[in-house]
Each structure stands twice: as C-alpha cells, then as structure tokens.
C-alpha cells in the first residue's frame, strides 16, 4: 500500500513473534503503541501500551489469543491513535478494470473493538479529508487489480485530521446497507454482474450519495455487559415505514444458540435531510418479550440520542 501512495501507520511491516523484538520496534515507532493479531481480525487480542511494561503484558495476551483463535502467534505492532475514528470506504472493482469509491462509512461506535453502529457520511470527516480517503481507497484497489465489492478500512486521527490505512476486506461488509441507502445501488447485484464480466447496472460517472444513513446492529447480548444471551424468541415485530430497512434472519419461535455469532438483525434508517431525523426512526425497534434473548436494542437506542453521538464529535471510546 505504501508503494501505491496510500498512507500507512508507522509500525512493523512483518509480523513479530518475540516480545524482545516487539520492544525494539515500539522504541522505533514511539509510544503509545497497539498490538494486534496478524492472522485475524474482529478486535480479538488487541491491546494498547503506553510503556515497555504495558507492551510486554499486552503482547503476551495478544499472542496467546492469536494462537488460540487464529492458529498463529504472529503479532503486529503499530502506533496507537488515542482519539481515533474507524472510517472505511466502500469500493467496487468493475469488470472493465475501473475501481470506484462509493463513499465512506463511520464505524467508530464499537464494543470489544467490534462495530455496533455505522453511518454515512461520517460527521467527523471534512470534505477535504473525504476526498483524500476516497482517492486513496481507489489507489488501494487499483494497486491489487481488485474486482468486486471491497472495503478499505482506515483509522482517522480526530485531533490531527489525518488518516492511515488499516486493512482491506475483500468481501461485502455487514454494514453495506447504509451505502446502498444513500446511493441507491444494489451492491449484491453488482457483484454478480462483475463476476459475469458484465457492466454495472448504474452509471459510474453519476454516483452522488444523497442524504444520511445509519445502521444499528441488534445482537442477542446483555445490553450492559455485552455477554451472549441465547434463548427462544417469543416475539418478533419489525419496524417499518419510510426510510426504514430491516435485514434479519430470525422470527418468533426461533432459538438463538450460543454457538454462532449473536447478530439478530440490522436496523437501517435513511433520511434525505441529514442526521437529526435518524434518531426518531432508529427508536422504532420494540423491546423483545421475556423470557428470551436480551438484545442490544437498549444499548443502541441509548447510543442514538446520546449527546456525543448526536453532535457527531465521537470516537471509538464512545
């Protein structure tokens, strides 16, 4: 990515398996640093360190979890951004070789380093920074000859107003509906067309994202401690209306087991005039009946009207 002109965070370019090497690299990079698994994602094993003692402890934790979850103890060390926003760019590599950027998504609302709410456009990205990020995402896709739907994930330094490349997910993301809502483009359809060598069903030169979209993930988790909450769903009543979309895989009578991802549904809302109408639409999700799974709808409903979230001045610490 560096060779393609994409900004990359100061850090190790090759995985580290020895804590002594990690200490040397951290001195070169400068504290604070972040350690994370080289062989997987999802925030598993990630940890920040402000000094050598903290690094040694975080490294051992990350290495143990990386080996357990991903079968590899390899660790990456990079500079830690204290006020960070997690912002990603949706790209589409067309069959004719062109790479398009379809706007960004702000994924900074997280628990355990995993996304809970996503919105577009990002309220923390200026027009100038957005232009730079979209251009860098296209460069990243072109550098690898990418075809299909992909996501270029970035870390934005909220204080410096700069960004660096994190990784590229070579698939459709859970949060792709927010991009579909503001562009009117069916990304799944485009994947089939690209795979068949066909042109897209839209004019690539006329893509103009409109309005604001928000996605809230509804998990079968305790809304306070975010622990799994399996059980049988006794009621399932989806909200509906203008600007409301629900992607779900459950209905009343289904049992949520503890063996798989606890995601129940995605509540997606769109407003043509900006962020403010989104909160009212997002609060349409009704409480789940008891007994049964305890969904995170309470947590996400709390997030929507929260002062920091509504102001747009938030980061991954929200």
Question: CB–CB of 140/255 below 8 Å?
Answer: no
Residue 117: what are its φ and ψ, rounded to 5°?
-140, 145
Give the position of tokens 């060390």: 77
- Among the listed residues 68, 112, 171, 276, the single catalytic one is 171
Question: If you search the block for the tokens 């979850």, which residue do you land on?
Answer: 69
Rounded distance, CA 128 to CA 191, Å? Answer: 30
Burial label, 285 (beta-carbon count in 10 A; 0-12, 13-18, 19+): buried
User: What is the gyration radius of the CA atoms in the chain, in angstroms?
Assistant: 20
- The Cα-based distances of 71 to 40, 77, 195 in angstroms read 9, 18, 32
Task: Report how far residue 54's alpha carbon sits from residue 207's, in angstroms, rounded to the nearest whole number.
Answer: 47
Copy the structure tokens of residue 25.
């690299």
Assess contact for 39 and 72: CB atoms under 8 A. yes
Residue 111 annotated as catalytic = no
What SS3 class is residue 212? strand
Which 8-state DSSP code applies to residue 80?
P
Q: How far is CA 29 from CA 11, 36, 153, 276, in A?
A: 6, 15, 21, 41
Active centre residues (catalytic)? 171
């Amino acid at each position: 990515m560096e060779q393609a002109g994409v900004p990359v965070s100061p850090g190790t370019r090759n995985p580290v398996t020895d804590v002594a090497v990690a200490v040397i690299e951290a001195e070169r990079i400068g504290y604070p640093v972040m350690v994370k698994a080289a062989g997987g994602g999802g925030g598993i094993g990630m940890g920040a360190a402000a000094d050598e003692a903290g690094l040694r402890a975080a490294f051992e934790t990350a290495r143990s979890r990386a080996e357990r979850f991903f079968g590899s103890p390899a660790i990456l060390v990079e500079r830690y951004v204290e006020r960070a926003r997690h912002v990603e760019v949706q790209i589409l590599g067309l069959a004719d070789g062109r790479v398009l950027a379809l706007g960004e998504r702000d994924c900074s609302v997280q628990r355990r380093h995993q996304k809970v709410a996503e919105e577009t456009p990002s309220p923390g990205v200026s027009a100038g920074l957005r232009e730079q990020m979209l251009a860098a995402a296209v460069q990243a896709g072109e550098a690898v000859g990418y075809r299909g739907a992909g996501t270029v994930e970035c870390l934005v330094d909220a204080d410096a107003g700069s960004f660096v490349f994190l990784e590229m997910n070579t698939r459709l993301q859970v949060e792709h509906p927010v991009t579909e809502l503001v562009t009117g483009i069916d990304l799944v359809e485009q994947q089939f067309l690209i795979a068949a060598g066909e042109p897209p069903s839209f004019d690539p030169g006329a893509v103009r994202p409109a309005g604001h979209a928000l996605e809230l993930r509804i998990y079968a988790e305790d809304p306070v401690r975010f622990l799994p909450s399996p059980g049988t769903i006794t009621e399932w009543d989806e909200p509906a209306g203008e600007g409301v979309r629900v992607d779900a895989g459950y209905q009343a009578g289904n049992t949520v087991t503890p063996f798989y991802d606890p995601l129940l549904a995605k509540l997606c809302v769109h407003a043509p005039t900006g962020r403010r109408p989104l909160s009212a639409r997002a609060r349409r999700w009704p409480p789940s009946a008891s007994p049964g799974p305890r969904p995170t709808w309470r947590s996400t409903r709390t997030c929507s009207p929260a002062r920091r979230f509504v102001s747009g001045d938030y980061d991954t610490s929200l």
